[in-house]
Structure formats: structure tokens, C-alpha cells
Structure 1
Amino acid sequence: MTLSLPGPFWLIGCGNMAGAMLARWLECGLDAADVTVVRPSGVAPAPGVRTLTAAPEDEVPAMVLLGVKPQKLDEVAPALAPALDPATILVSLLAGVEIASLRARFAAPKAIVRAMPNTPVRLGKGVVELIAEGADARARAAIDALVAPLGHGEWFEDEALFALAGHLSGAGPAFLFRFIDALAGAGAALGLPPEQAARLAKAMVEGAGALAAAAPEAPAELARRVASPGGTTEAGLKVLDEAEALQALVRRTLDASRRRGIEMAASARAAPPPA
């Protein structure tokens, strides 16, 4: 696979998520010479990647990936905004920062794209939600080409639905990792060596996830097929299903993430745009 870009590509911030995406792109043939990372440390995230502590003045980027923490938006926007022009495609990974809030700070780019990836993008098994304002067919094609090596990309037209989907798949891996840890912990509490319980839990989730992704049946049907009437699996499922305990817990979990996103969006709207 060869990954090409429409021109200079800047990453503003390169933490866990942006770093995972960059590592995957480089593995898939992206030329490191086309990439500039701007980060306070000045430490290159990969060999051959130009890494600076401030936006370069010797070029106009074709695409910018905004990967700082949402709280840092108004620290980077004043210096970054003048470097962009109408042809620049601005891609934001900032959770909770709506397109209107980005537009208030970055007036020049015609195309502003919000992307919500999850950490499995590092393996090409991620999910990336996308929504855009002002993106023509060329810009969308460039974004699609960038997302393809990362996993499954899905476009949205409604920003509220985009945000909700981002909580489901963006935060979802953390929720699943907690379940894996709890399952392994339960096994250890009942007598398995902890290292063995963790190893078995991770291997089980890998296989079960692959089966759920490949099977035409719904996960509920797959669960039913595992559970023989009167058997051990059915006994465990009854605990999860009692008073819809698992569903209620997951709804509360997802809703807590959603409500925090609403708070972050309100904060970004309230903050004054850079002069």
C-alpha cells in the first residue's frame, strides 16, 4: 500500500492518538519527508519526520491534523491560523470541539473536518467517524485515502450523531479494556494465576471480537448459541441479564461520556476566539 498526500502535511501535536495514526500511515507508505510535526518537545515521533516547536514559515500546508488536547486549542490557534489558506484541509481530532468553534478560530480553510478515531487505528483495525463543513469531492477523497489504512471510516451529516458515535467507538475501547481487566480479575479471584487469567481473557476477546465482526448474526444470537440450556454459560448470562444490569451499566457509562462531551463543546463555544 502506498499512501500519498495532496501536499505538505502538518501534525499540530502528536500525542497518543495522533502518534498512533502517524505510525500506521508511515507503515503504509507515507513518505516521512512530507510530514511536519509541531510539538513543544521538538522530539521527532519517527525517523525522518521534520519536527519543530512552532509552525514552519517556509510552506503552506495542504492538510493539517489538529491533535492537541482540546484545552490547548486557544494556545495553538493564534499562531496556526495565519499559516493556513483556503485550500488547506483542516482535520480536528479535538473531542467536544464543534465545527462552529473551529471555524471561529480558523477562518481561512474552506474545508474543516472533524475526525473521531480510536486507538486500534494503530493496527489498521480502528473506527474513524467523520463530519465536514465545506469539503468538496477532492477534499473528501483526500480524507478517505488518509483514513483507509486506519480501518473503518464512516461519514456523518449530523454533528450530534457524530459526537454520540464518537463516544461509542472512540471511548469504547477503554470501556472494553476495563471489562477485559475485570474478567481476568474475576478469574484470578476464583483461583487462576493472574498472568494466565489475563492472557486467556485477552485471547478470548480477540477471537470473540473477530467472530462478532464476521458473523451475519447479531451478537445477541451469538451469545445464545454459546449458552446451552441449563449450562454454565447460561448461568453467567443470567447474572448479566438480571434487571438488565449490564445494559443499564453500559447506558450510564456511555451517557456519562456524552454529557462530558456536551460540557466540553460548551466550553469551546464560550472561549473567545484568538484575535
Structure 2
Amino acid sequence: MAAFESTVVIGAGKMGGALVDGWITQGIDPATIHLVDPALAGDDRGWSAKGVACSADFTDLAVSQPSLLMLAIKPQMMDAVLPGLAPLDHDGLTVLSIAAGTTLAALQTAFAKARCIRTMPNTPAAVGAGITAAYGPDVPSDVKVGVTALLEAVGQVVWVDNEQAMDAVTAVSGSGPAYVFHMVEALADAGEALGLPADTAMALARQTIVGAGQLLAQSDETAATLRTNVTSPGGTTAAGLSVLRDSGKLSDLMGATTRAAFDRSVALAASKDVPKS
């Protein structure tokens, strides 16, 4: 697996932690990883035992010239975090951001000499089943290969060729797991309304989504073909789909849902276009 000589990860939350775990699992030397998060001051959450260098503050970093800096933080934290990273040597540095709505221009303003890449992973990365979209138009091919290998430690990777696509990615795959989880809730509620015990309805709804996802992942057939395969003409599935699909209600609702998420991503970018540094 391709790797950078030294990596500093700012943020030990679910996404940052999932990525670091994935890298270690894939064989990256944990001694090359430096994890920074104020929450690590009282509890390093077992990272030190894995060989990862942990710090609660930028000033405690044992490395001043990392080859990769990952910003695994929320977009509203950028203004507070970026000034503390100014002392790092930005020459030859690759900056990888997973913050929604933080534009490439904003990153380049903070890291003028660095190669900046904007990414959007999603939470299934925590179980190695995520998908990450990346955008970095001027990144050398060798750096792109290295970044792709790192991100593939927690799932699939796609590169997009324009920045506006990142807002669409955020709306579809970044926020998408929440839509699926809500669908499980709604399906379980519907089963309960039909007379099933609550725990039975939830078990059925939950495993149905899990199983359908696994079938989709392992099949060479399209989602449309798989849907057709389970739909007998005049049968129960066809009756249900007549409400979901034939009426257009689900497509309209999903369109409105992703549009709202897209618009919010665009608004975040507009409000944080050039972070203070």
C-alpha cells in the first residue's frame, strides 16, 4: 500500500479514527501517524497502544514537516484550527480535507505552498464500506495514487473533475447514509402500524436494508435489474412500488432531499470561502 512518510491527522472523531484504523489494518506503520485532537488530553482512546503518536494540541507535535496533513474536522472549526498549523513547513505538503463546504480556494489560501485536495467520505468508512470522492485538479499523479491508496483503506474512491460536483457528492453519498437509516426507521414504523411487534418490525426492516445492500454490492446486475427481479407482475411488490415508483413520490422526495443538502453545502462554501489564517 502506498504511503506518505509522515501523516498528521487533525481530528480523532469517527471519520478521522476510521481512516487511521483502516491505514493500520492495511499495513501502514502507525509510528508514521500523528493524531491531534483536544479530546485526547485525558484519554488517548487506545491510540498510543497501537503505536500512533497522540497530541491534544498542535504545539505538541513531534513532526514539523509532515508529508500529509489530513483535516478531519467539521467546517465550523476551520477558523480556530488553521492558524495553529501555520508553523508547519508547507513545502511539499499534501493537505487532505474532509470538511464539507470548505472550498479548494479556502484551503489554498491557508496552505499557499501545499498541494490541496478536497474529499468527501461517508460514515460506512467505519466498517470499511465507505465511498470517498476527491477533487484536486493540480495534484501530481504520484500523489494522487498515494492519496487514493490511503482512502481505499476504508472503501471505494472516485475522483471528480470539477468542484461543484463535491456539493452533489455531499448531498448523495456524504449525507446519504442518514437517508438510508431514516428509511429503516420508516419501514419499521410501517411494519408496526401493520400489527408487527416493534422489535420484530425493526429486525425485519434493518436486515432487509443490510441484505439488499450486500446483494447490490456483490451482484453484477444494476439496481434496476435487481428491482425487476423481485417484482412479479400483479404481485405484492408491484403493488408497493406503484406507490413508491409509479407515482413518482419517492423520486420527487429524494430529489428535494438531496437538493436541500446540496444547497446547504453551497451555502457553507459561500460563508467560509476564505477562512481567517
Which among 7, 10, 22 is matched to residue 12 of structure 1?
10
**Residue among 219, 231, 234 paired with 1:230:** 234
1:163 is the counterpart of 2:167: yes
Distance 2:259 2:180 in 1: 16
Unaligned runs of 5+ in 1: none
Are residues 1:72 and 2:70 paired? no
In the superposition, relative to structure 1, how do residues 27 and 193 fare at CA in structure 2: closer, same or farther (>3 Å)? Answer: farther
Look up the match of 2:199.
Answer: 195
Contact 1:26 1:32 in 2 (8 A): yes
Residue matched to 1:49: 52
Between the two proteins, the alignment pairs up a number of residues equal to 270
2:86, 2:255 → 1: CA distance? 39
Whole-angstrom distance in 2 between the partners of 1:206 and 1:107:
44
**Counterpart of 1:54 in structure 2: which amino acid?**
D
Instruction: Report the CA distance between 1:244 and its aligned residue.
Output: 0.5
**Aligned-pair distance for 1:117?**
0.5
Match of 2:110 among 105, 109, 115: 105
What is the letter of the counterpart of residue 273 of structure 1? K
Corresponding position of 1:219: 223
Give the equivalent residue in structure 1 for 2:189. Answer: 185
Equivalent of 2:214, from 210, 214, 217? 210
Q: What's the CA shift for 1:40? A: 1.2
TM-score, normalization by structure 1? 0.92
Amino acid paired to 1:218: T
**Corresponding position of 2:90:** 85
Structure number with greater CO (CA < 8 Å, separation at least 6) is 2
Shift in Å, 1:77: 0.7
Match of 2:235, as an amino acid? G
Query: Residue 7 of structure 1 aligns to a residue in which SS?
Result: coil
What's 2:25 paired with?
Answer: 27
Superposition RMSD on alpha carbons, in Å? Answer: 1.7
Pair 1:251 & 2:251 matched: no
133 and 78 in structure 1: CA distance in 2 versus 1, 3 angstrom threshold: farther
- CA offset at residue 133 of structure 1? 4.1
3-state secondary structure, aligned to 2:86: helix
| CA distance in 2: counterparts of 1:40 and 1:11, whole angstroms | 12
SS at match of 2:70: strand
Contact preservation (8 Å) 1:124, 1:149: yes
Q: Does 1:142 align with 2:140?
A: no
Distance 1:18 1:186 in 2: 36
Shift of 1:237: 0.9
Q: 1:83 to 1:241 in 2, by over 3 A?
A: same
Q: Which amino acid aligns with 1:53?
A: A
> Is 1:239 equivalent to 2:243 in the alignment?
yes
- Structure 2 residue identity aligned to 1:44: D
CA distance in 2, matches of 1:78, 1:221: 52
Deviates more, 1:208-217 or 1:128-137: 208-217
Name the structure 1 match of 2:37: 39
Cα distance in 2 between the residues matched to 1:174 and 1:84: 38
Instruction: Tell me how far apart the structure 2 counterparts of residues 123 and 252 of structure 1 sit (CA, whole Å).
Output: 29
Q: Which runs of 5+ in 2 are unaligned?
A: none
Q: CA deviation at 1:272?
A: 5.0
Q: CA deviation at 1:74?
A: 1.0
| Kept after mapping to 2: 8 A contact 1:93/1:115 | yes
Rounded Cα–Cα distance in structure 2 between residues aligned with 1:199 and 1:27:
31
The one-letter amino acid of 2:17's match is: G
Q: Is the 8 A contact 1:147 1:153 kept in 2?
A: yes
Q: What's the offset of the Cα at 1:146? A: 0.4
Work out which of the residue numbers 163, 173, 177 in structure 2 matches 1:173: 177
Quote how far apart the aligned CAs of 1:226 are: 1.3
Identity value in percent: 34
